[in-house]
Amino acid sequence: MTTYRFTCIVCPLGCSIEVEVENGKVKDVKGCRCPRGKEWAVQEVTNPKRVVMSVLPVEGGALPTVSVKTAEPVPKEKIPELMKFLANLKLKAPVKAGETVAEWEGIKIVATRGA
């Protein structure tokens, strides 16, 4: 059996969580003080995901770059592929905060500020 230890990031409590995994299956989760923490810990062990943030160049804008993020979390193992996709993008001004500037595998890439 393997035990994974985490400090939960879902809420301000910062619970110390232990997830016990045997033969690829979660057997027990200890230390959570809320159901969201348990759900997060199980996902972190079985299918970790992250919201990805980056910057993209902008042609003709007041600023040379604009910050962007994924509209939803991306599986960790796919982040290098996403970053290669983002490295090949160049936006044209104007770009507005909240605007979807691209889409990758059905996930929207959203500008977090204007340019």
Domain boundaries, the chain: 2-46, 53-111
Structure tokens at 2: 């393997």
pLDDT the model gives residue 76: 97
pLDDT the model gives residue 47: 94
Q: How does pLDDT run along the chain (115 residues), one tens digit per residue?
A: 899 999 999 999 999 999 999 998 999 999 999 999 999 999 999 999 999 999 999 999 889 999 999 999 999 999 999 999 999 999 999 999 999 999 999 999 999 999 8
Residue where the block lists tokens 């044209």: 92
pLDDT the model gives residue 60: 94
pLDDT the model gives residue 113: 94
pLDDT the model gives residue 106: 97
CATH architecture of 53-111: Roll (3.10)
Residue 31 in contact with residue 24, Cβ under 8 Å?
Answer: no
